[in-house]
Amino acid sequence: MKKINNKIIVLLLSIVLFSCKNDQKISDDKLKNENTNQNIKKDSTTVQANSKTATLFEFSNEENTEIIKISATEASDDDKLFLVGDKNVLVASKYTKNTNEEKLVLRNTLFSDEFYYINIDKKAVRKKIQNTEYFLFAVMESPKGNGDPEFILNFIMLNIHDLKFFILKYTGEATLRCDECIDGRFIENEILDSNPTIKKELYDFANKSKWVYNPSGKEKDINYYKNYEQKWEQDNTAGKTEPTFPHSIKSTYYTENLFQYTGNYNKDEVIENADFKIVSYFRNNIIGYDKNKKLYFPIMVETCNTGCDKKIEFISKNKILIIPTEISSQIADTVNLNEIDFD
């Protein structure tokens, strides 16, 4: 199981409970960039009477004459920044300050989605750009009910004056390479391309986010042990039209403990003999350890939310059988550990 932040683990486990497909990628419609300069209405969002609404951020304008609130529906009982409803909505509202009451003067829906868990980063930035005040914050979406392993990050830049906004999207998956970040890519956005100043600010903000994976130092080297998954995929799947596993496997020896790096495992996920110790992580990678060479090596790199768990067993001193346990139509594979091609 991947060594990632507890909240991400909760999200992934929740996805498993609802999953019905394997490795379904994010839809094209979901990745279409929102038109940020939409028409703004005073009551553009209708919230059901029984929904739980929480104020996530609240602040005054520079003149201290108005109050801006960013609120959300369906906040969890334990954390208002974690939204758990079937439909979650983020709304920005502006009120004029009055000694007796706050008067709503403007409201705009920033974000609305169904069947996604939503996590909002409490770290936000308020900044004046070209004499206009903006408020920047990040929203993470984790899908449920479709087996999709991808996360979607939304970096939102809100104009405090008129409540218009821009969004930069980033998609990817949870990664071993950091504790709580997502390993992925930014989505091209024509609206941002036509607003280079806004685009630069959003990219600068996003690249500093704890949720975006940015390699540094040794992590930029594909041969570094923390990149063992990417190295294995590059050697065995990149640019290949036909899968070579298990007939031909390329791998790499590592002195670093890949068992410890990959995460905890159960005793029933381990097999070993005098020469090898092999671990098949639940719905995840298969890692080997050569007891004679005292080196670790990946045998198979794979992850899913459902449908790819495997049982392993020795069928001879140097051969293992990999048996799919979740899809009956899948056949078992045999891997000869002595025939793995090491670079």
pLDDT digits (tens, 9 = 90+) for 89-114: 999 999 998 767 889 999 999 999 88
Instruction: Read off the pLDDT of each residue in 69-98 and give the average, rounded to a whole number.
Output: 90
Q: Which of 214, 234, 258 is the last residue of a domain?
A: 214
Q: Give Cα 41 to chain centroid, integer Å.
A: 32
pLDDT digits (tens, 9 = 90+) for 292-309: 999 999 999 987 767 678
Q: Which of 182, 198, 214 is the last residue of a domain?
A: 214
Number of domains comprising the chain: 2
* Residue 323 near residue 313 (C-beta atoms within 8 A): yes
Domain membership of residue 197 (yes or no) is yes
Q: Say if residue 170's pLDDT is above 90.
A: yes
Closest CA to 301 of 324, 281, 331: 281
Instruction: Read off the pLDDT of each residue in 319-331 and give the average, rounded to a whole number.
Output: 84
Could you tell me if 163 and 246 lie in one domain?
Answer: no
Could you tell me if 188 and 230 lie in one domain?
Answer: no
Could you tell me if 45 and 113 lie in one domain?
Answer: yes
Q: Say if residue 141's pLDDT is above 70.
A: yes
* Residue 278 near residue 259 (C-beta atoms within 8 A): no
Beta strands in the chain (DSSP E): 53-60, 66-73, 82-83, 87-96, 103-114, 116-120, 125-129, 132-143, 151-159, 165-174, 182-186, 250-251, 270-272, 276-280, 286-290, 295-300, 310-314, 319-324, 333-336, 341-342
Most confident by average pLDDT, 22-26, 126-130, 144-148, 330-334: 126-130
Could you tell me if 189 and 99 lie in one domain?
Answer: yes
Q: Say if residue 259's pLDDT is above 70.
A: yes
* Residue 188 near residue 32 (C-beta atoms within 8 A): no
Could you tell me if 23 and 118 lie in one domain?
Answer: yes
* Residue 56 near residue 83 (C-beta atoms within 8 A): no
| Three-state DSSP state, 45 | coil
* Residue 141 near residue 113 (C-beta atoms within 8 A): yes
- Name residues whose C-beta falls within 8 Å of residue 242's C-beta, 6 or more positions apart in sequence: none
- Name residues whose C-beta falls within 8 Å of residue 334's C-beta, 6 or more positions apart in sequence: 246, 315, 319, 320, 321, 322
Could you tell me if 73 and 140 lie in one domain?
Answer: yes
Phi, psi of 54, rounded to the nearest 5 degrees: -130, 145
Q: What is the mean pLDDT of the chain?
A: 83
* Residue 112 near residue 87 (C-beta atoms within 8 A): yes
Q: Which of 214, 242, 275 is the last residue of a domain?
A: 214
Range of the structural domain that residue 128 is part of: 6-214
Domain membership of residue 1 (yes or no) is no
